[in-house]
Amino acid sequence: MQHEIHAVDLFCGVGGLTHGLVRGGINVIAGIDVDPACRFPFEANNAAVFLERDVAFLDSKEIRQLFQSDGLRLLTGCAPCQPFSAYSRSGRNKKYESQWPLLLSFGRLVRELKPELVVMENVPQLLDHQVFESFVESLQDYAKWWSVIDCSNLGIPQTRRRLVLIASRLGNKGLDLLLPEESVSTVRKTIAELPPILAGERHPDDSLHAAASLSNLNMQRIKSSKPGGTWREWPVSLQASCHKKPTGATYSSVYGRMEWDKAAPTITTQCFGYGNGRFGHPEQDRAISLREAAMLQTFPRNYVFVPEGKEVKFNQMGKMIGNAVPVRLGKVIADTLFSHIQAN
C-alpha cells in the first residue's frame, strides 16, 4: 500500500497545483491565498478548504491543526513570482518589494512545521536571487533536488519554463522529477475541439469561452498574420510605429498567432490580448479565449472559475489563469513523490 500524503498548498490561487496533486492521489486538505476571488474556483473544483490568509503573517499552529495525525505531510506552494521575473526587473521591482519576504515566510513555516515533504515552484529567475539561497537554508535537514524544467517536456502544451524544488526528510532517492512517457502535446490537441467564436463574443454554454474584442486596425492585423509568423510580414500600413524603432524591432512575437501543431507560448496574465504576445488563435481571427488559455494551462475543460451567472472579467480571469501552476505539473509532482516514497 502506498503511504498517504496530506498536503497544504500555500499561495494556492485558483487551484492549479492542488488539482494536479489531487489527480495524482494526494489528499490536499487546504489551500491558502490572500486573494478572496480565488475561494470559489478553488473550493468548487477541489475537495479542500480555502483559507484567506496572508502567508507573511500565518501562524504555523494553524497549519499544524489542519494536518491529520497519520500519513506524510506535504507543504507546497508558489510564492508570487513578479519580484523575481525578468519582466519585473526592468524598473518594476519597487512595486513588488513587499512580496520578496513571502518566500522567506514559506521557509519559516518549513522550519517550524518540519513536514516530511516540501515542494516549491517558481520562475527560473529566482535562482539569481539571494532569497533562493535563504530558502534552501531553511531545508538544511532535507534531501533536496531542484531544476529548471520546460513544461512542454511534461505534456503541457506551452513553452513554460519553471523552477521546481523537491525536498524530503525520507531520503535522497528518486527526488528528481519524473518525465512522463507521453510528453508531447500541442495547441491542436488541446483546444481544437472548442466551438468557434468571434472576437468580442462569449459562447452561450460557457461564459469562460470568451474572446476579447478587436479594434478595426487589429482585425486587419490578425487577418494579415500567419501562424508562427510575425508583424514583419504585414503591409507597412499596418505596422505600429514602435515596431519601426530599433528598440521595437526585436519584439517579433507580439501580435502573433499560435501554431496548431506546436506548443503555445507561455500563458501570461495578459494572454487574452492579441497584442500582448503570440496569443492569436491559429485559425480564427481573434485572441485565444479565457477557456482556451485555461486548457493550455491543462485545467480540465469543465473547471469552473466563477459562479453561474456572475460576470467574467478579462483582467481578473487572465491574472488567475496566467499565474496558476499548470495542473499537469502538479500531477507529475505527485507521481514523483509517490515514486520517491517507494524508493526510500
Q: What is the 3-state secondary structure (H, E, C) of 270-331?
A: CCCCHHHCCCECCCCCCECCHHHHHHHCCCCCCCCCCCCCCCCCHHHHHHHHHCCCCHHHHH
- Cα 98 to Cα 85, 137, 236, 259, distances in angstroms: 15, 21, 44, 38
**Residue 51 per-residue DSSP state:** E
Task: Note if 81 is an active site residue.
Answer: yes
Do 123 and 78 touch, CB atoms closer than 8 A? no
Q: Which three cell numbers stand for residue 167?
A: 525536498
Place of cell 484567506: 52
Please give the Cα distance from 190 to 175 (Å, whole number).
29
Place of cell 500563458: 267
Q: Which three cell numbers stand for residue 54?
A: 496572508
The pair phi, psi for residue 229, each rounded to 5°, is -85, -175
**Residue 266 per-residue DSSP state:** -
* Residue of 12, 38, 81, 271 with catalytic role: 81
Please give the Cα distance from 316 to 13 (Å, whole number).
12
Q: Which three cell numbers stand for residue 111?
A: 522550519
| Contacts of 225 by beta carbon, 8 Å cutoff, 6+ apart | 231, 233, 234, 255, 256, 257, 280
**Angle, to 10 degrees, between the axis of helix 101-113 and the axis of helix 130-137?**
10
Please give the Cα distance from 201 to 47 (Å, whole number).
33
**Angle, to 10 degrees, between the axis of helix 16-23 and the axis of helix 327-343?**
50
Residues acting as catalytic residues: 81
